[in-house]
Structure 1
Amino acid sequence: MLLHVLHETVYDYAPAVRTAQHMAHLRPADHATQRLLAHRLTVEPEPAQQVEAQDVYGNTRAFFSLDAAHDRLRVVAESTVSTSAPAVPASRVPWEEVRERMRYQRGARYDPAAEFSFSSPYVPRDEAFVSYAQPVFTPGRPLQEAAVALMARIHADFTYETTATDVNTPALEALALRKGVCQDLAHVMLGCLRSLGLPARYVSGYLLTEPPPGQPRLVGSDASHAWVSVYLPADKAGQGQWLDLDPTNDRPAGEDYVTLAVGRDFSDVSPMRGVIHGGASHTLRVAVTVTPMESPSPSPAP
C-alpha cells in the first residue's frame, strides 16, 4: 500500500517566544514492511539550526533551534511510504517461559528485548496491572495467544474518550478510569505485559482511516496513533519477532499502519517536544491526513 502522510503542528504564543529548542519524531521508520520513499520537514520560521540523528532505539529524530522572537511556530512533516502486511508469527512459547528467559541469569544468553520488560516514566510495573491481566494470562497459555486476548479485553473494557486524559496521564490512572485515548490504552497494555515480566514496546505512528461511504476525505481529520509491540522469542535458538497489536481497534497492525518510532512509552517518542524562553501561554493545533496513493514515488527519501 502506498500512503501519503501530512502532519502539521502549529503553536501560537502570547507573548512571543524569544528562543526555542525542539525535538521531533516525525520521520517514518524504514524497515522490512515499510519503505520510506520521500520525507520533508518544514519549520517556520526558519530555524537557526536543524539536524537529524538516530536515538538509542534506532528512530530518526530531528533537532531544531530558533534564536529570533516568534509568536507562531509551524512544523509540517510530509512523507510518502510504501507498506506491506507483516507476516503473522505463529509462536507457541508459553508466557511463563518467555518471562523466565527475560530474567537475568548468570551465564545465560542475553536477549536485547529484555530492556523493554522494565518500568518506564509513564508505565510502572505494578500489581494492579498483574491483577487485570491474570484472567487471560492463564498457566501455560502461549504468549502470542494471551497477548491477543489482553488486547481484546482492553478494547472491550475501556471507553475511548478524548477528554478523560491528557498526554501526561500515568498508565495506572488510565487503568483506574477505564477511559482514555490510544496512548492510554497502549500504556495500560504495556503495564500489564511488563508487570508480568514480558517485554513490550510503545509504537507511535498513523493509521489510515476511511471516510463514510460517499463522503470526501477531510484534510487534517486524522490524528497520530499509538499501539503496542510485544516480543515473541523464537521457539528454539534464533531471532525473535515483534508482534504489533492495537488495543484501540482490537486488531494486529497491518499495511494501513505507518510506524514513526518505537520506545519505552510516549515520553521516548512524542512527535514534538521542546524548551522555550518566553511565550507564557500558547494554543496548539495538530492536523494529520493519511491518504492512499495510486502510483509510487520515483525516488527514495533523502
Structure 2
Amino acid sequence: MVQSWRLRVQHKTGFTYAGKVSSSYNEARMSPRNEPHQAVLDARVEVWPPARTYKYEDYWGTAVTAFDVHAAHEALQVTATATVETLPAGDRLTGDGASWADLAAPESVDRWHELLLPTPRTALDEELTELAESIKSAHATPQAFAMAVSERVRAEVEYQPGATGVQTDAVHAWRQRKGVCQDISHLVVGLLRAVGMPARYVSGYLHPSSSAAVGETVVGQSHAWPEWWAGRWMAFDATNGIPVGEQHVVVGRGREYGDVPPLKGVYSGPENTGQGVEVAITRLR
C-alpha cells in the first residue's frame, strides 16, 4: 500500500522599507498545485496590510495571488498556508523513455521549444557546454544522461546557504563550486538543454526529514529542483540526491527562477531595506 504524507506548510515572506510606501503592486507564487502526485486540501494567502486579492494561473501553470496595497505602509507581509497530501516517488524515475532520436525529432523540438532555450540564469559557457557533450557521449539514453548530470553537479557544487543570491547564474555557481538549490537546479537545467533535452525549473517546499514525526513542526525550506522530458516528465532533487517524493511540495514551474519567484512587485516610496523568509512544515499524517 502506498503511504502518503499530509503536510501543512506555512510560508511567511515580505519586505521592509526605509519609510512609508504609498502604494505597491504585487504577485505571490506561494500556493501549491493540484497534480497527480499531490492533492491540495486547503490553501489560503493572507496579506498585511489588508488588501483584496485575486487569483489566476500564469502562462506556466502556476497559481498566482495578485494584490495591490494603497494604504501607507512601512512593511509588507504575505503568509501562505496550505495542507497538502503527497505521494512517495514510486516509479517516477523508472524506464528509459524517449531516445535521443525522439528528442531530436522536429515535432519534439517544436513542442518543447521554450524549454530548450537558454535563459539568463541557465545559459552556459564553453566549459559547461563541453561538459554536457562529454557526459552525453557516455550515456545511451536521455534518462541515463539526466541522472548522470544531476549526480555530477551534486558532486561538484557544494550546497552552501548564502554563497549566492537570486541573480546568480549557472556559470558563476559552477566556477565557485558553491551555491544553493536554485543554483544547482539552474546548472542541471542548463546542461540538459545544451544537448537538446527539454528541462524546466520547479519551485516548492521540502520537509527536511525523511523520517518526520507526525505533529512536529520544523523549519522547512523553500526549495527547487529540475525536471526533464524523457518521454514523460521526470523529477529528481539534485541538491539532496533523492527522487522527488512525499517530502516535496510543488508550487510552480518555469524556465528558471525568474518565472516563479515567491513574491515580486513594484512600489512607490523609499528603498527596500530587507526581505524576510520563514517556512514552517508540519507532518500531519
Cα distance change, pair 129–115 in 1 and its aligned pair in 2 (3 A): same
| 8 A contact 1:208–1:257 mirrored in 2 | yes
The number of equivalent residue pairs is 278
Aligned to 2:173: 174
1:115, CA displacement in angstroms?
A: 2.2
Q: Deviations 1:67-107 (Å, cap 9, x if unpaired)?
A: 1110111110000011112432312544x324412xxx4xx
Aligned to 1:17: 21
| 8 A contact 2:12–2:77 mirrored in 1 | yes
Q: For residues 145 and 234 of structure 2, what CA distance do their matches in structure 1 show?
A: 12
Q: Which consecutive residues of structure 1, in runs of 5 or more, have no partner in the other structure?
A: 234-240, 295-302
Aligned to 2:222: 224
Q: For residues 44 and 252 of structure 2, what CA distance do their matches in structure 1 show?
A: 16
Q: For residues 60 and 125 of structure 2, what CA distance do their matches in structure 1 show?
A: 25
Q: What is the 5 A alignment of 1:242-261?
A: 242-261=233-252
Q: Deviations 1:159-208 (Å, cap 9, x if unpaired)?
A: 11122210001111112111100000000111101111210000000111
- Are 2:157 and 1:158 equivalent residues in the alignment? yes
1:276, CA displacement in angstroms?
A: 1.2
1:213, CA displacement in angstroms?
A: 9.7
Aligned to 1:91: 96
Q: For residues 137 and 251 of structure 2, what CA distance do their matches in structure 1 show?
A: 33
- Are 2:277 and 1:286 equivalent residues in the alignment? yes
Q: Which amino acid aligns with 1:11?
A: F
Aligned to 1:195: 194
Q: For residues 139 and 153 of structure 1, what CA distance do their matches in structure 2 show?
A: 13
| 8 A contact 1:230–1:243 mirrored in 2 | yes
Aligned to 1:210: 209
| 8 A contact 1:121–1:267 mirrored in 2 | no
Cα distance change, pair 249–21 in 1 and its aligned pair in 2 (3 A): same
TM (normalized to structure 1)?
0.86
Aligned to 1:265: 256
Q: What is the 5 A alignment of 1:65-104?
A: 65-86=68-89, 87-88=91-92, 89-94=94-99, 96-101=100-105
1:138, CA displacement in angstroms?
A: 2.0
Q: Which consecutive residues of structure 2, in runs of 5 or more, have no partner in the other structure?
A: none
Q: Which amino acid aligns with 2:114?
A: E
| 8 A contact 2:217–2:282 mirrored in 1 | no
Give the match's secondary structure for 1:56.
coil
1:6, CA displacement in angstroms?
A: 0.5
Q: For residues 159 and 81 of structure 1, what CA distance do their matches in structure 2 show?
A: 30
1:126, CA displacement in angstroms?
A: 4.3
Aligned to 2:65: 62
- Are 2:95 and 1:121 equivalent residues in the alignment? no
| 8 A contact 1:127–1:195 mirrored in 2 | no
Q: For residues 274 and 69 of structure 1, what CA distance do their matches in structure 2 show?
A: 16
| 8 A contact 2:182–2:223 mirrored in 1 | yes
Give the match's secondary structure for 2:221.
coil
| 8 A contact 1:98–1:143 mirrored in 2 | no
Cα distance change, pair 210–270 in 1 and its aligned pair in 2 (3 A): same
Q: For residues 284 and 252 of structure 1, what CA distance do their matches in structure 2 show?
A: 31
Q: For residues 46 and 97 of structure 2, what CA distance do their matches in structure 1 show?
A: 46
